[in-house]
Amino acid sequence: SQQGEEDPQALSIQEGENATMNCSYKTSINNLQWYRQNSGRGLVHLILIRSNEREKHSGRLRVTLDTSKKSSSLLITASRAADTASYFCATPPHAGGTSYGKLTFGQGTILTVHP
């Protein structure tokens, strides 16, 4: 089964609007990470939220984590055309409280920000 499923699959907004993407996962986790991928490029690590955290901020990014619902959300405020990319959530395996780096990625949300 897929660990880390996101919705929406695609999101199209105007510059200046906020963009919210959601991620659900199935097993218990130590942390959840969000990555951005520009078309045809590698991934850029955006933010990591640990299982004992509920919310985390980084610049225009706000991530929430609800372990009871096994879900996370990524909010990008005041979006810019340069935010156009695919966004993925990813989770490492939960094994005795230690994460081994191996990540399982969600299907991703394709965000398009129109200028």
Partner 1 sequence: GAVVSQHPSRVICKSGTSVKIECRSLDFQATTMFWYRQFPKQSLMLMATSNEGSKATYEQGVEKDKFLINHASLTLSTLTVTSAHPEDSSFYICSATERGYTDTQYFGPGTRLTVL
- Contacts to partner 1 by CB under 8 A: 31, 33, 35, 40-45, 48, 88, 92, 99-108, 110
- Stated as kind and residue range, the H or E segment containing 108 is none
Nearest approach, Cβ of 107 to partner 1 (angstroms)? 5
Q: What is the maximum alpha-carbon separation in the chain?
A: 47
Q: Which is nearer to partner 1, 26 or 78 (CB)?
A: 26
User: Residue 30 and residue 93: Cα distance in Å, rounded?
Assistant: 8
Q: Quick one: 14 or 58, whose CB is closer to partner 1?
A: 58
Judged by beta carbon, residue 47 or residue 75, the one nearer partner 1 is 47
Closest approach of partner 1 to the CB of residue 67, in Å = 17
* C-beta of residue 74 within 8 angstroms of C-beta of residue 83: no
- CA distance readout (Å), 67 to 27, 33, 50, 52, 91: 10, 14, 10, 9, 13
Give the shortest CB-93-to-partner 1 separation in angstroms: 11
Q: CA–CA separation, 77 vs 24, rounded Å?
A: 21
Shortest distance, CB of residue 43 to partner 1, whole angstroms? 4
CB nearer to partner 1: pick between 15 and 43: 43
